[in-house]
Structure 1
Amino acid sequence: MSQNFPIARPGMRIGLLGGSFDPAHAGHAHISRIALRRFALDEVWWLVSPGNPLKPQGPAALADRMARAREVMPDPRVKITDLEQRLGTHFTADTLNALQSHYRGVNFVWLMGADNLIQIDRWDHWRDIFQRMPVGVLARPGLLMRARYSKAARVFANAKLPGWRSRELAGSGAPQWCFINMPMSAESSTRIRAAGEWKSPARGA
């Protein structure tokens, strides 16, 4: 394995949580802990992206966002990574393809909030994400109905695993996906930035 890549053994069950994490906050930590338990994962890897193609303004410096993420999530079962930058990928589908090639035999699960389920059909090769690995969707405040009737939920309706079987997801293979309800946090990176609570040195703040 390449230097500074996380170590993972064949058979491990690892959740992948991607995003700009600009900044990471308690909500990210909360859903990671829920995912570890509800999907019976060994680890969760945060994929802190160099940038988000769907956002017009670039995020804070990657090093600052990584440092903030480590402060917010000190749990050793959660690895803070810059794998997208190391792999040279720009879209989620490409990142997942590269990770599966690097980590043969690892049972990956793509993790995302219900907000991303609603708009994932805007992502590059979004169907490939579902076809490549199981997907775990975590509830977000006020989005249950929109997520339930989203395009992705309708396209892959026949592959949905009921919430009470969530611990089976990592070993079920693609295109299985599972939506779980949970105690929710209304925290968001957008609110933190708007309130001036996230001061990245690279932004001169």
Structure 2
Amino acid sequence: MRIGLLGGSFDPVHKGHIAIAKEAIKDLHLDAFHFIPTKNNPWKDTCVASAKDRMAMLQIAIDDARMSVDPIECDSRNNEKNYTIHTLEALCSAHPDDEFYFLMGMDQACAFEKWVEAKKISEMVQLVAFNRSGYPEDHQNLETYHFIKLDNQPMHASSTEIKAGDLSMIAPPVLHYASMHGLYIDTMIRPRLSEKRYQHSLSVAKLTAEFAQSNGADPLKGYIAGVMHDVAKELDHDLAKKMMKAYYPDHLDSSRPIWHQWLSSYVAKHEFYIDDEEILKAIEDHTTASTSMTTLGKCLYCADKLDPLRGYDSSAGIALCNKDIDAGFASQLIQFYEFSKKKNRPIDEIFFTIYKKYVKE
């Protein structure tokens, strides 16, 4: 068999990985193509996602029966850095009758002489280079190490850019998995928020997870809800108004500062593919609360109000919420009511229904 190999962290796998595999299968007439996620990449210090999660996302991304995920490196009990030479030695020994084509981008091909046992690798397998944006399409190493060169459109997709917020490079099913496992979302939201709002979101995520853990709710859901609760807080006003008209017309007359609780839920669902109704409901309730608060919703509501970054001593409130979130939530409603009365701020009529249910009753 003619088998293509592509190693890497795949943290996460992106559309470019799948596209280049398809190109290689076609141009090199391959019978199979194996993705080999590394356990300990010698070129990188750490991975955000675990080996288990990275393999799971690869399985989701694969859309061709000839493609598969080879766990040879991830299943290794050795926690040292993974070097390609060792993986290829194992594969060639186990499959002596197969012909392997080892792919790498031109970024790596241009530095291939630095790889451990580079010459030996070039003698064991057929090396294949593909174009990547920002790197030359030719290099002396191609001749020195007998590369085949794919004539592909330069690949610009990057796992680093996905983690920095470019969601166009990741397939929706993979993004759904990542979001629902709390992977990368803390950095993917960063371009959407000011630094102060971003740090607030991370702080609220941590506190919501803490409250959830203390009160029998799912801390992962708490973390996800906390990260996403203000993701639409700083949307352009005209865009926010357009979205409110289209998706939440019943709330269009609500105060502008609270639109984001509905819009953040929308963005979480439709742009980050978060489909857990409990998380989405918690986000929708985090500013005004509602008469149908879940435990998770109470955790987020209180974490948002008690965030230590707000600049006042909230330690007593945090301790109460960790002990009893129902009591902590009622306490926050009381404080909101008393503060609003003291400052002569208008209070929405629905608040009194909420107050009656969770405080008076």
Where do residues 19-38 of structure 1 align in structure 2 (5 Å cutoff)? 19-38=8-27
Contact 2:16 2:155 (C-alpha < 8 Å) held by counterparts = yes
2: CA distance between counterparts of 1:36 and 1:204?
Answer: 30
Say which of 45, 58, 63 aligns to 2:52: 63
Aligned partner (choices 157, 163, 180) of residue 187 of structure 1: 157
List alignment gaps of at least 5 residues for structure 1: 1-11, 160-176
Q: Among residues 149, 158, 162, which one is paired with 2:139 in the alignment?
A: 149
Aligned length: 172
Alpha-carbon deviations, 1:16-54, whole Å to 9, x = none?
110010000100000000000011101110001112112
Corresponding residue SS for 1:86: coil
Partners in 2 of 1:194 and 1:103 — Cα distance? 39
Name the CA distance, whole Å, in 1 between partners of 2:44 and 2:125.
25
1:109 aligns with 2:101: yes
Question: Does the Cα contact within 8 Å between 2:48 and 2:183 map onto a contact in 1?
Answer: no
Matched-pair contact (CA < 8 Å) for 1:141–1:184: yes
Following the alignment from structure 1 to structure 2, what is the Cα–Cα distance between the partners of residues 190 and 127? 30
Contact 1:15 1:111 (C-alpha < 8 Å) held by counterparts: yes
Higher strand content, 1 or 2: 1
- Residue 180 of structure 1 deviates from its aligned partner by 1.7
CA RMSD of aligned residues (A): 2.2
Looking at structure 2, the residues matched to 73 and 149 of structure 1 have their Cα atoms a distance apart, in angstroms, of 31
| TM-aligned CA deviation for residue 149 of structure 1 | 2.6
Q: Cα distance, 1:193 vs. partner?
A: 1.2
User: Equivalent of 1:128, from 120, 130, 135?
Assistant: 120
The SS at the match of 1:144 is coil
Give the counterpart letter for 1:149 in structure 2. Answer: H
- 1:142-164 CA deviation, whole Å, 9 max, x = no partner? 3235xx235x33533xx4xxxxx
How many angstroms apart in 2 are the aligned matches of 1:102 and 1:86?
Answer: 16
Change (3 A) 1:182 1:106: same
Unaligned runs of 5+ in 2: 168-174, 186-361
Amino acid paired to 2:12: P
Matches within 5 A, 1:70-85: 70-85=59-74
Superposed CA offset, 1:46-75 (max 9, x none): 001112112123341011111111222221
Q: Matched residues in 2 for 1:128 and 1:187: separation?
A: 30
| Amino acid across the alignment from 1:96 | L
Higher relative contact order (Cα pairs below 8 Å, separated by 6+ residues) = 1
Could you tell me which amino acid in structure 2 is paired with residue 27 of structure 1? G
